[in-house]
A and B are shown apart, each in its own frame.
Chain A
């Protein structure tokens, strides 16, 4: 797979914002001294008047965005997931969520694939936090194509949206002419009958690879991409669980409160099914090259394959 095109979804975010800036004069991008890392610098160059650097003050940036939205703007606040969702949780909850303001939260550097910076900057809790806010839409795109589509869809949607992006360049898996993105709509990537693998974000690619390897061993795995964690596509989850009777969730996020929990919430109420959650266990991350960490945490194709096989035994 050496010739596969790889793009970090934070780059997709920056590139999509530049396109949005041309389409809609109400799009405003805010940063907290991380424009270089969140990849919004290209927007700043293209539309300097509509890029607001708030300095290292995420709480205020969030409130400023709320005020801008209350005056009809479409602000995108950009920071690392740790700060956008973690440090900012209460500001997002009270200044954006409660009044249901039209603010988009562009959270880059999510998960352990942040790499060398280590645990202090590896946010594995953001989706769990954001899920608890009523009316918050949460999108965790799987590649460049999906990330750019998600940014456009978020801008077109009236209400708060949390967009989760990564630092690591990952393979493009959705580069096909019939690709369509719809908020809240899961994507069936591969049909199978023995087990359902539901993945989100940068582990969707490795989940597909694992399914391929399972097939070679005679195990037929269905693979579903849930890019929208909330509102989650209940129908696609229930239908697949009914078919296979066994569900594995995969996410580069804590197994507490993220995709695995969201899927379990659906199935426990509407289609009781055994669910095995693959993700970051109840622990912090650590420093290391992203690929090595993903391997160590069992979130590469090899790790997913081993977990699924263990679950099916």
Chain B
């Protein structure tokens, strides 16, 4: 996909996020929107996956360690064809297969149940280890929040991945700088994130989470890195794409009301028109 195609797709993923969270009247739009470009690149460009065969043992795996941003994952999966986009508004509704946090038994394309912070990265390590044991060449990706890395288990997992030289593992940190209680730097400062992962024997790449050239280059570099896992520290804007949600901690875990929904969708419509104009 060209960068423009990826941008247009990411904008559709963002529409799905806003629509799903609005319909659910609950959920986490901020961190879903900040990671929308990463979700899009993974599912439309990077990962070897087949929506018609979501359990293929040779597929690449993705673990959403920051499971509360399930709307982002669901929207990417739906737009990629794992299930109908029209089902996104069932998010968090009773009986829906789109649970509040990812559930691997319910949702096609979800490789691991997650939501309790710090646990997904460990499961991703296990999947990467299984690939090594079986001499398979699939790759494993896991997305963490920058608040999530305050969990001790993340560093148990990081030590494990470095020690076991899991070079088929890519850890992505969505560094949007905000967690529920405020800026991550103020709550329990996790910085410097890059140097921490380096110290745990990772190859570290720092990028702009909304620049597809940088995203593309980072995942290519990760694939070429042997003998150690890669951590991509992706500096992002929380709420990216929706004017009133951008860089606002208030929109970590809150749904837009009807009026706010209209504004948010108008923002994304405007981006779509700009992208179409660029194409023309």
Interface residues of A (CB under 8 A from B): 28, 49-50, 52, 54-55, 57, 59-73, 75, 90-91, 94-95, 98-100
Q: Determine if B126 and A67 form an interchain contact, defined as CB atoms under 8 angstroms apart.
A: yes
Interface residues of B (CB under 8 A from A): 57, 61, 63, 103-105, 111-113, 115-116, 118-131, 133-134, 152-153, 156-157, 159-160, 163-164
Q: Across the interface, which residues of A come within 8 angstroms of B120, CB to CB? A: 63
**Minimal Cβ-Cβ distance residue in B for A98:** B113
Q: Determine if B113 and A67 form an interchain contact, defined as CB atoms under 8 angstroms apart.
A: no
B129 to chain A, nearest CB (A): 6
Q: Determine if B123 and A95 form an interchain contact, defined as CB atoms under 8 angstroms apart.
A: yes
Q: Determine if B104 and A71 form an interchain contact, defined as CB atoms under 8 angstroms apart.
A: no
**Minimal Cβ-Cβ distance residue in B for A93:** B116
Q: Determine if A57 and B156 form an interchain contact, defined as CB atoms under 8 angstroms apart.
A: yes
A60-B127 in contact given A70-B111, A90-B116, A98-B113 (Cβ < 8 Å): no
Q: Which of B104, B122, B134 contacts A64 (CB 8 A)?
A: B122
For the complex with contacts A63-B157, A67-B112, A70-B126, 13 further pairs of A-B residues with Cβ separation under 8 Å are: A55-B160, A59-B119, A59-B153, A60-B125, A63-B119, A64-B122, A66-B112, A66-B126, A70-B123, A71-B134, A91-B153, A94-B115, A95-B116
Q: Across the interface, which residues of A come within 8 angstroms of B152, CB to CB? A: 59
A63-B123 in contact given A54-B160, A57-B160, A68-B130 (Cβ < 8 Å): yes
Q: Which of B57, B124, B133, B160 contacts A49 (CB 8 A)?
A: B133
Q: Determine if B115 and A67 form an interchain contact, defined as CB atoms under 8 angstroms apart.
A: no
Q: Which of A28, A69, A71, A98 contacts B103 (CB 8 A)?
A: A98
Q: Name 27 A/B residue pairs within 8 A (Cβ), A-sorted.
A: A28-B133, A55-B160, A55-B163, A57-B159, A59-B122, A59-B156, A60-B160, A62-B122, A63-B121, A63-B153, A64-B123, A64-B125, A66-B126, A67-B130, A68-B126, A70-B126, A71-B57, A71-B130, A71-B134, A73-B130, A73-B133, A75-B126, A91-B153, A94-B115, A95-B122, A98-B103, A100-B105
A99-B112 in contact given A63-B122, A73-B133 (Cβ < 8 Å): yes
**Chain B contact residues: helix, strand, loop or mixed:** helix
Q: Please report the C-alpha to C-alpha distance between residue A50 and residue B134 in the assembled complex, in whole angstroms.
A: 11
Q: Rank and list the top 7 A-B pairs by shortest CB-CB distance, nearest first.
A: A67-B126, A63-B122, A71-B130, A60-B156, A57-B156, A64-B126, A67-B123
B165 to chain A, nearest CB (A): 13
Q: Which of B112, B118, B134, B159 contacts A70 (CB 8 A)?
A: B112
Of B61, B120, B121, B157, most buried by chain A (CB within 10 Å of CB) is B157
Q: Determine if B113 and A94 form an interchain contact, defined as CB atoms under 8 angstroms apart.
A: yes
A193 to chain B, nearest CB (A): 47
Q: Across the interface, which residues of B come within 8 angstroms of A95, CB to CB? A: 113, 116, 119, 122-123
**Minimal Cβ-Cβ distance residue in A for B123:** A67
B136 to chain A, nearest CB (A): 9
A67-B119 in contact given A72-B57, A94-B113, A99-B105 (Cβ < 8 Å): no
Q: Please report the C-alpha to C-alpha distance between residue A98 and residue B106 in the assembled complex, in whole angstroms.
A: 11
Of B128, B153, B159, most buried by chain A (CB within 10 Å of CB) is B153
Q: Across the interface, which residues of A come within 8 angstroms of B129, CB to CB? A: 52, 64, 67-68
Q: Please report the C-alpha to C-alpha distance between residue A64 and residue B123 in the assembled complex, in whole angstroms.
A: 5
Q: Please report the C-alpha to C-alpha distance between residue A124 and residue B153 in the assembled complex, in whole angstroms.
A: 25
Q: Please report the C-alpha to C-alpha distance between residue A72 and residue B103 in the assembled complex, in whole angstroms.
A: 18
Q: Across the interface, which residues of A come within 8 angstroms of B164, CB to CB? A: 52
Q: Across the interface, which residues of A come within 8 angstroms of B124, CB to CB? A: 67
Q: Please report the C-alpha to C-alpha distance between residue A91 and residue B157 in the assembled complex, in whole angstroms.
A: 13
Of A49, A62, A68, A75, most buried by chain B (CB within 10 Å of CB) is A68
